[in-house]
Amino acid sequence: MTTIAAMEPLLPDDNKELEDLATDLVAKASGLATRLHPVLRASVGDLVRSMNCYYSNLIEGHNTLPVDIDRAMNNELATEPERRNLQLEARAHIEVQRMIDRGEGPSPVMSEAFITWTHRHFCERLPAEMLVVENPESGRKITMAPGVLRSERVRVGRHIAPDPADLPAFIKRFAEGYTSSNLSRLRKIIGVAASHHRLAWIHPFLDGNGRVARLFSHALLRELDVGSELWSVSRGLARSVDNYKTMLQAADEPRRGDLDGRGNLTLAGLTEFCRYFLSTCIDQIDFMEGLLEPSELLRRMEIWAREETAAKRLPKGSWPILRMAVLDGTFARGDAADITGYATRQARTVLNDLINQGYLISETTRSPVRLGFPASVVDRWFPRLYGEGQ
């Protein structure tokens, strides 16, 4: 039996540097939220969910190309089994995050109900072979039940995770510790970082714990009115993945002596992980803020549109329509003639071409249109969103 005290401390001691980071995070997240028209924000959210999935997969060692993710969302699955499975895994991640962004998960986020809901909805969407887990010590293969706490003992590196029988008690303490009424809002935001590690430390499931922890942190940031569909910490974690894993392991270590807190685990290691996690959040908000600055976004898109029009891959009159989609978020199909200055029939032809190529999206043949982000233009419209070393 493992006592719940083995997980202490749950939070760093009062720390001005961490509080300053949390304050900066709140301010920057608030500024990013006002950048875009609400409708365009929803479209960008679809793109960021795909990006989040891409980088979360990279952390797990699964390199799923953005174009394959895009095809998976259109139900265009590869015939080759391994590639197809990675597409299904990517689609599962995006669908669960979309549910989180729509507020469809259990409330509060800091609960066993939400943690198991996330794991269940993700794993239920996976092919059966991806639910088979091999015990590295015994070699025995186990079929994992979606959303069910593990019944096996596990070791992660040097860390021996809590006994399966003790998991409910650990998760209860986990939820209570990070939702205490004595915590200020800034302490709760610091708690997002700390709880990311402690959830990974508990290791509630046989597999999928890293992905659940990242989705959990995304949801918790949203619940605290800091996170949004416009940015993803996973991009930053993936771009410093060795540091991310090293920091997680360092926070697993036991207390380093009398000057390292009063709990069983290292206070210094937890504090350093929180500093890294919060700094990564701020870095990713700064990155997205620069990418979504309206005048720069319009400039990049206009250069691209001129090149595509000159190459006869876009019909003339496309740019004014795309520009309107950025500025107004959405517009009625009948407005295309006024936007382009073309006759109704010619304007409709241009509009339909943009819809057919995925640059505009419309729910029905009569509903308003909004901007779309097909994989083919992401590198031009949103440079450095994907890519190694970028």
Task: Find, among 333, 325, 324, the residue nearest to 367 by Cα.
Answer: 333
- Got the DSSP string for 353-377? HHHHTTSEEESSSSS-EEE---HHH
Confidence (pLDDT) at 137: 66
Residue 155, pLDDT above cutoff 90: no
Structural domains in the chain, CATH included, are 4-291 (1.10.3290.10), 294-381 (1.10.10)
As a whole number of angstroms, the distance between CA 133 and CA 45 comes to: 32
139 or 359, which is more confident: 359
Name 367's Cβ contacts closer than 8 Å, sequence gap at least 6. Answer: none
Which residues are registered as beta bridge partners of 7? none
Question: In degrees, to the nearest 5, what angle opens at C-alpha 232 toward C-alphas 231 and 233?
Answer: 130
Buried b / exposed e across 239-278, counting CB within 10 Å, b at 16+?
Answer: beeeebeebbbbbbeebeeeebbebebbbbbbbebbbbbb
Residue 343, pLDDT above cutoff 60: yes
Mean pLDDT of 139-161: 89
In tens, the pLDDT along 77-115 reads: 999 999 999 999 999 999 999 999 999 999 999 999 999
The owner of tokens 């809901």 is 117
191 or 35, which is more confident: 191
Mean pLDDT of 63-79: 91
Residue 390, pLDDT above cutoff 70: no
Omega into 9 within 30° of 0, i.e. cis?
yes
As a whole number of angstroms, the distance between CA 52 and CA 66 comes to: 11
As a whole number of angstroms, the distance between CA 154 and CA 302 comes to: 54
Which residues are registered as beta bridge partners of 146? none
Is residue 73 helix, strand or coil?
helix
Neighbouring C-alpha atoms within 13 Å toward the C-beta of 301:
24
As a whole number of angstroms, the distance between CA 202 and CA 209 comes to: 9
The owner of tokens 């970082």 is 193
Which residues are registered as beta bridge partners of 159? 156
User: Strand (E) positions, the chain?
Assistant: 132-134, 141-143, 155-156, 159-160, 330-331, 360-362, 369-371
Contact present, 62 and 89 (Cβ < 8 Å): yes
As a whole number of angstroms, the distance between CA 59 and CA 365 comes to: 40
Q: What is the pTM for the complete model shown?
A: 0.92
Give the CA distances from residue 288 to residues 26, 48, 285, 378, in Å, rounded to whole numbers and listed in that order: 15, 10, 5, 14
Omega into 127 within 30° of 0, i.e. cis?
no
Contact present, 218 and 97 (Cβ < 8 Å): yes
Mean pLDDT of 266-290: 96
129 or 134, which is more confident: 129
Cα torsion 93, 95, 98, 104: sign: negative
In tens, the pLDDT along 174-217 reads: 999 999 989 999 999 999 999 999 999 999 999 999 999 999 99
As a whole number of angstroms, the distance between CA 109 and CA 222 comes to: 10
